[in-house]
Amino acid sequence: MSFTVAIVGRPNVGKSTLFNRLVGKRLALVDDTPGVTRDWREGEGRIADMSFRVLDTAGLEDAGEETLAGRMSRQTLQALAAADVALLLIDARSGVTPVDEHFAAQLRKGATPVVLVANKCEGQAGEAGLMESFALGLGDPVAISAEHGEGMGDLFEVLRPFAEEADARQAAAVRAAAGGAAEGEAEAGGPLQLAIVGRPNVGKSTLVNRIVGAERLLTGPEAGITRDAIAIDWEFAGRPIRLIDTAGLRRRARISGKLEKLSGSDAMRAVRYAQVVVLLLDAQAPLEKQDLTIARQVVDEGRALVVAANKWDLIRDSKSALRSLHERLADSLPQVRGVPVVTISALEGRNLEKLLRTVIRIYDVWNRRVPTAKLNEWLAFMTDAHPPPLATGRRVKLRYMTQIKARPPTFAIWTSRPDALAESYIRYLVNGLRDDFGLDGVPLRVLLRKGKNPYEGRARKRK
């Protein structure tokens, strides 16, 4: 991505629709409700062979600084300052409004170059609004339809000078750095994907802001401020990390409206694409039923789980509270023994380094591979110490074992009768794997496969 484009404008003019069109995916939530986008979201945009970083922002509104709308506008201005060029989007069907005029005047005074884009210009309904937009004093408008993909060629031509300028800067930087740092130092496989999930208003956005050291996400006393899953690239101890803040997850019975359903689906999609998930709890009301439901969903997806108890500075009897939290986890999540628990205060920044080091440690466990030779030595020892139980009068034989994948660690055991091996014996093997190979705290999967009988299907010889 050679340069950065910020999409700005008043609410409900199609900014997120244009963002999704440029990135080629439905990353941003789109709904007819004004103000769906609240935190600015970034992605890799592309038109033909030109690529760039694109920022989807909240709607610009003329509101008090401490109101939610005012804080959203402040987030938009932060994105604008980080951009090489801004696309001021207007709704051509609605025509130019006083709000459009107000913010066009603001943007003309700023340092960031602005391109005026008239959206919803398909057909003849937008012609009058397109003509009106010339009066905004931002040059010739680019007529597009973000929903139908019309006008992308014109947008390409307008953005091309910024791409060429960015390419020239990059070439100059490469020449200046020639002979400097060695190439290929970035860690293979990309950044660690870390999602922060939890109930509404437990402090997820506050935690992410504290970790990155900036007011990157919108926070406040209102529950449910975050709607989109927002990804932020960051680095800790030389390790690239992609932090993903998600909307609060409530019980299905309490979800009302299409928008909240979309937000919940977006949060669960972030979990599926994550590698490690931090389940953030409110220490004053830890491990409610919804917390455990979220934890089970994370485990069922095979993600590595870390539990972070936030607002720990408000707990008086910390030893008793921590003991109770561990006991509840052990009782409610027996399938993932040893889930790490870190007590933190996102507001005060307490124990955040410990939390991140725990995330990296559990990620390494989640990626661990055990050699096949060691596994089969271990399997022989386990079956000698405690043979499999009889099934219909015959002993079940475990012949061979190997790890077929990591992330999460998944093992296959070839046996004479897969359907006859008791669940209690499988738990015995899983607990042994955790103890002997240091696999506590991550989901483990053990698959039973039937060994092939070389005589199966052959006719029996008569004597």
Question: DSSP letters of 161-194?
Answer: HHHHHHHHHHHHHHHHTTTSSPS--SPTT--EEE
Alpha-helix runs per DSSP H in 11-151: 15-23, 68-81, 98-109, 127-132
Give the mean model confidence (pLDDT) for residues 249-276: 64
Angle at 440 between CA 439 and CA 445, to 5 degrees: 60
Q: What is the pTM of this model?
A: 0.64
Q: What is the pLDDT of residues 276-317, one digit of tens each?
A: 999 999 998 878 888 888 889 899 999 999 999 999 999 989
- State the Cα–Cα distance between residues 88 and 128, nearest whole angstrom: 18
Instruction: Identify the structural domains of the chain with CATH numbers, from first to last.
Output: 4-176 (3.40.50.300), 192-366 (3.40.50.300), 372-450 (3.30.300.20)
| 219 vs 290 pLDDT, higher one | 290
Percent with pLDDT over 90 in the chain: 34
User: Model confidence over 96-133: pLDDT tens digits?
Assistant: 998 888 888 888 888 889 999 999 998 888 888 889 99
Query: In which band, very low, low, confident or very high, does the pLDDT at 186 lie, cut at 50, 70 and 90?
Result: very low
Mean pLDDT of 241-269: 63
**CA torsion angle 277 283 286 292 (round to 10):** 0
Identity of the residue numbered 331: D
| Residue predicted with more confidence, 71 or 396 | 396
Q: What is the pLDDT of residue 178?
A: 46
Phi, psi of 33 (to 5 degrees): -65, 130
Name which residue leads in pLDDT, 457 or 76: 76
Looking at residue 108, what is its pLDDT?
85
- State residue 405's pLDDT score: 92
